[in-house]
Structure 1
Amino acid sequence: MNETFMKEKPVLPLLVSMALPNVISMLVNSLYNIVDSLFVARISEDAMTALSLVYPIQNFANAIAIGFGIGINAMIALYLGAGDRKKAETAATHGMALSLMHGILITIVSIVIMPGFLRRFTSDAGLIASGITYSTIVFLFATINMAALAFEKMFQAVGRMKVTMAALIFGCVCNIILDPILIFGLGPVPAMGIAGAALATGIGQLLSLCVYLFVYVRTELPVRLRRSCLRPDAALDGKLYAIGVPAILNLALPSLLVTFLNGLLAGFSQSYVVVLGIYYKLQTFLYLPANGIVQGMRPLIGYNYGAKQHARVKKLYELTLIMSAAIMAAGTVICLFASRPLMQLFTSNPETVAIGQTALRIICLGFVVSAVSTTSSGALEGLGKGAESLVISLCRYIVFIMPLAAVLCHFHGANGVWHAFWITEVLSAIVAYPVYRKAVGKC
C-alpha cells in the first residue's frame, strides 16, 4: 500500500477523508457511552453515582492506552514520512509489546487501589460494593483494551481510518446490544446488574480487538509487527515515551480534575457529584467527534512534517480548528436550549435535573473557544512535541480550573465550579495558540 497520498492529495478532501471515519466512530462511541449510562441509571441513581466515582480511575487507564498509542501513531507516521519503513515497523512492534505490559500492570494496580479510592468519597457500603464490582470486571479487560487501542493507532498512522471505524463501531454496537441483556437478564441469561454493564464493556473491547486481528492477518499494511524488531532499542523507546507520556498525562488530567471536583461538590450534595458524572457522559457527544477530526489530522501532520511539507502542516491545523469549532458551536446551542431533556435522560430526581440544567447552560459557554486548545494540543502531539502539548493540558485541567473552582465555589456555591469551566477554556486558549505558534516556528 502506498501511503504517499498523505502528502500529495489536496488538503481539505484529504483531511475530510481521514477525519470522517473517525468522527463517525466517535459518534457511535459517544452513543455507546450515553446508552450504557442510561441502562445503569435504570438500575438506580446509586448505580450511576458508583460509575461517576469509578470514572477517574477508568479514564486514567484509558488515558494510558490512548496516550501511549498516540506516541506509536506519531513515530510510525514520522518515520514513514521520512521514508524509513524499518524504523516505522520497529516503532509499531515496540509500541505493541509495551502496551501489553501496561495492560497487565493496570489490571493489578487498579484492582488493588479501588476499594481505598472509593472510600475517600463515600462511606455508603452499597456504593462501595457496586464500584468495586464494576471496576474489577472492567480492569480485567485492560490488556485487551491496550492491544486494541495500540492497533487502532497503528492503523490510523498508515491512513486505514475505515478499519478503525469498523472495529470501534462493531465493539460499541455489540456493547449496546449486550447491555440490557446482561444488566436486566434475558431468557437463560441472569440479571447481573452493574456487573453486566462492566462485562458488556469488556466483551465490546474484545470484539474490537478481534476485528483488528482479522484485518491485520488478511490484508497488507505498510508496517508489520515483526519479531526481529523486538531487539532492545532504548533510543526508540525513549521517543515513544517522550510523546506518549505527555499524551497520557493530557488524557489522564481529567481524572485528576474530576476527583478534585467531586471532593468540592460532595460538600454541597451528592446530587452535584451525579451531575458532574452526567456532564462528562454528555460532553462525549461533542468532544469525541471533535477528537475524531484531531485524530484524522494527527498522522497527516506527522507525515507531512516528516516529509518537510510545512505549508500543508499549517493548512491542516487551520482546517481542523474550523471544523472542531463548528462542532462545539452546535453543542453550545443544544446545551443552552435542551439542557432539561438532556438531564432527564439520566435521572427523574427534580433536584438533580434542576442542578444539571444550570450546570450545562454555564459550562457550554466555553465550548467553542476550547477548540483552540484541543486542536493545538493534538497538532503538537502529531509533530512529536509532547511537552508543549502537555503545557496546554496542564492549563486546562490544573493550573487554571482547580484554583478557580476552589475560589469561586467559596463565593458562589456549587455554581462557582461550573463557571470555572468556561473561564478556564478562555484562559487556556490564550496560552495554547502562542505555544503552538512558537513550536511550529521551530519546525
Structure 2
Amino acid sequence: MADLDLIRGAIRPTLVRMTLPMMMGIVSLMLFNLADVYFVSQLGTREMASLAFTFPVTFAVISLAIGFGIGTSATLAKLIGGGKTSQAAKLATDNLMMTFLLVVFISVVARFFMVPLFNLLGASEAQMPFILDYMDMWWFGAAFVVSNMVANSSLRAKGDTKTPALVMAVSSAANLILDPLFIFGWGPVPGMGIQGAALASVTAWMGVFVYVVYILFHKYQLLVVQPPQLKRILSHWVQVMKIGIPAAVSNMLTPIAGGVLTALVAQHGAEAVAAFGVGNRLESLSLLACLALSMTLPPFVSQNFGANQIARVEAAYKGAIKFALGWQLIVFVVLFLLQDVIAGAFADSSAVEEPLSLWISVVPLGFGMQAVIFLSASTLNALHQPMQAMRISVIRLFVFFIPLAWIANYFAGLEAMFSSFVVANALTAVIAYFRVSRLLKRKAVVNQ
C-alpha cells in the first residue's frame, strides 16, 4: 500500500486500494466512541449525562484536528507530486511540531474556562465534578489526538492509507481493553470511574502516536532533524492553515445546523427526536464507503495537481462521483425494502417506529447527492481552494437545508421536512459539481 504510485498508477485500482483500508479505519473509530459510551453507561445516569456534556467541546477539538489534517494532506501531497520531497519533509516536521505545541497551549488555557463553559452548556452542579474529572484527563491527551490526525494525514499524502487504518484499529482495540480496566479497576489497578474512560483514550492515543512518528521518520523520511528557524516554521504553518482553518470551520458548522434541525424535529415530540437520532446514526453507516473515499481522494488529487496531471484529477473526481451516485442508490433501495425490519430493530416503541420508518423511506434518497457534496468539497480542498469548499458547506446548511426544512415543516409537517433534506442535498450537489468541473477546466487550459 505504501508503494502506490498516485501519479502514474491506474486510477480506479489505486483509489480502491487506498479506500478499503480507510473504511476499516472509520469502523474502528466508530467502535472507539461506542466503547466509551457503553462502559460509562454502566456507571449510571449521572456519569452518562456528564459524558454527553463533553461532546460539544471534544467535537470542536476534533473538528480542529480534521481541518489541520486536511490542510496537511493537501499541502504535502502537492509538494510530493511536484517532486519536492525535501521541502515536503521540512514542512511535515514543522507542521507536526507546531500542531502539538498549539494544542498543548489550548489545553492549558482551556482548563481555566471549564466551569463557566459547562455552566453555559447547562450542566448541573451535581454533574460538574464528573465532567471536570473527565475533561482534566482528556485535555492531557488532546495534543496526541490532534497530532495523530495530522500525522496520519501526512501518511495519506504519501499514498499510504494502510498504516493510518492500522493505527485506528489498534487504538480502538487498546481503548476497548483499557476502558473497563481503568473505569472499574482490576487487581492493583484502581477503578477511576468516568476519568478512567478518558485515561484509556489518552493512553491509546499516546501509544499509536509514537508508532506513527516512527513510521514517518524511518520509513518515509517525512520527519527530519532540522534547526528551528522562526521564519521557515511560520511560513510552513501559514501554508497549512490557509486550507486547515476553513476546513475546520466547515466541520464545526455541521453540528450547529444539526442542533437547529433537531429543534425543528422536536416540535413533533420526543419520539420524532429519537427517530431522528437513530436516522443520523444510520446515515453515518450508509455513507461509510463514500466517507472513506473522501479521505483517500484528496491525496490522489493533490499529488496529481502538484504534477500538473489535471486530466487524471478530472478522471478521478468524475469516477468518484459516478461510484457515489451508483453505490448510494443501491444503499437506498436496500434501506427502503428493509425499512420495517430496520425500524422495528432500532425503535423501542411503535411511536418511534413510525417516524423512523418515514425517515428511512425518504432521507436516504439524497445520500448520493450528499456524497457528491463532500467529495466535491474534499476535491476543492485538495486543489487548494478551501474557501470554495467552505462556501459549499455554508450554502448547503444555511441557504438550502435549514430554510427549506423550516418552510416544509411549517406548512406541511414532518414528512415534507424529511423530503426537503433530499431537495437541499440535490441543489447543493449540482452547484458543487459544476464548481469543481469549471475549476478543473480552467486549470486544464492554463496547463496547455
- Asked whether the two chains share a fold, i.e. TM above 0.5, the reply is yes
Determine what percentage of the aligned residue pairs are the same residue.
Answer: 23
**Partner residue, 1:221:** 220
The question of whether the paired residues in 2 share the 8 Å contact of 1:410 and 1:416 is answered with no
Task: Within 5 Å, give how 1:108-187 maps onto structure 2.
Answer: 108=108, 111=111, 115-116=115-116, 118-119=118-119, 122=122, 133-183=133-183, 186=186
Task: Within 5 Å, give how 1:27-426 maps onto structure 2.
Answer: 27-40=27-40, 51=51, 53-108=53-108, 111=111, 115-116=115-116, 118-119=118-119, 122=122, 133-183=133-183, 186=186, 194-217=194-217, 219-228=218-227, 230-233=229-232, 234-264=234-264, 276-333=276-333, 335-336=335-336, 348=348, 355-411=355-411, 418-426=418-426
Q: How large is the Cα RMSD of the aligned pairs?
A: 3.5
**Deviation at 1:72?**
1.2
Deviates further, 30-39 or 87-96: 30-39
**Deviation at 1:425?**
1.2
Distance between the aligned counterparts of 1:377 and 1:142, measured in 2? 27
In structure 2, give the amino acid aligned to 1:297: L
The SS at the match of 2:242 is helix
In structure 1, give the amino acid aligned to 2:306: G
Equivalences, count: 442
Residues 221-242 of structure 1 show CA distances to partners (whole Å, capped at 9, x for unaligned) of 1522333365423444332111
**Deviation at 1:143?**
0.5
The SS at the match of 1:7 is coil
Distance between the aligned counterparts of 1:276 and 1:43, measured in 2? 26
**Deviation at 1:404?**
2.9
In structure 1, give the amino acid aligned to 2:19: A
The question of whether the paired residues in 2 share the 8 Å contact of 1:106 and 1:142 is answered with no
In structure 2, the gaps of 5 or more residues are 444-448
In structure 2, give the amino acid aligned to 1:202: V
Change in 2 beyond 3 A, CA 1:78/1:420 = same
Change in 2 beyond 3 A, CA 1:394/1:290 = same
The SS at the match of 1:141 is helix
The SS at the match of 1:303 is helix
Residues 241-282 of structure 1 show CA distances to partners (whole Å, capped at 9, x for unaligned) of 111112112222212223434554566656665555554444
The question of whether the paired residues in 2 share the 8 Å contact of 1:369 and 1:425 is answered with yes
**Deviation at 1:39?**
4.5
**Deviation at 1:334?**
5.3
The question of whether the paired residues in 2 share the 8 Å contact of 1:93 and 1:230 is answered with no
In structure 1, give the amino acid aligned to 2:61: A
Residues 279-330 of structure 1 show CA distances to partners (whole Å, capped at 9, x for unaligned) of 4444332444422212222111111111111111111112222333455345
Deviates further, 337-346 or 9-18: 337-346
**Partner residue, 2:446:** none
Distance between the aligned counterparts of 1:416 and 1:114, measured in 2? 40
In structure 2, give the amino acid aligned to 1:212: V
In structure 1, give the amino acid aligned to 2:16: V
Structure number with bigger Rg: 2
In structure 2, give the amino acid aligned to 1:221: Y
In structure 1, the gaps of 5 or more residues are none
Distance between the aligned counterparts of 2:340 and 2:321, measured in 1? 30
The SS at the match of 1:384 is coil
Residues 181-233 of structure 1 show CA distances to partners (whole Å, capped at 9, x for unaligned) of 4455555656555444443333332232132134335x321522333365423
TM-score (norm 2): 0.84
**Partner residue, 1:10:** 10
Distance between the aligned counterparts of 1:152 and 1:59, measured in 2? 18
Distance between the aligned counterparts of 2:223 and 2:302, measured in 1? 19
The SS at the match of 2:294 is helix
In structure 1, give the amino acid aligned to 2:9: K
Distance between the aligned counterparts of 2:387 and 2:334, measured in 1? 34
In structure 2, give the amino acid aligned to 1:401: F
Distance between the aligned counterparts of 1:237 and 1:340, measured in 2? 51
Distance between the aligned counterparts of 1:419 and 1:39, measured in 2? 37
Change in 2 beyond 3 A, CA 1:264/1:101 = farther
The question of whether the paired residues in 2 share the 8 Å contact of 1:335 and 1:361 is answered with yes
Change in 2 beyond 3 A, CA 1:235/1:178 = closer
The SS at the match of 1:6 is coil
Change in 2 beyond 3 A, CA 1:340/1:31 = farther
**Deviation at 1:402?**
2.4
In structure 2, give the amino acid aligned to 1:290: C
The question of whether the paired residues in 2 share the 8 Å contact of 1:69 and 1:95 is answered with no
Distance between the aligned counterparts of 1:174 and 1:120, measured in 2? 34
- Indicate whether 1:21 and 2:52 are aligned: no
Change in 2 beyond 3 A, CA 1:283/1:229 = farther
The SS at the match of 2:7 is helix
Distance between the aligned counterparts of 1:91 and 1:336, measured in 2? 48
In structure 2, give the amino acid aligned to 1:65: A
Distance between the aligned counterparts of 1:113 and 1:411, measured in 2? 43
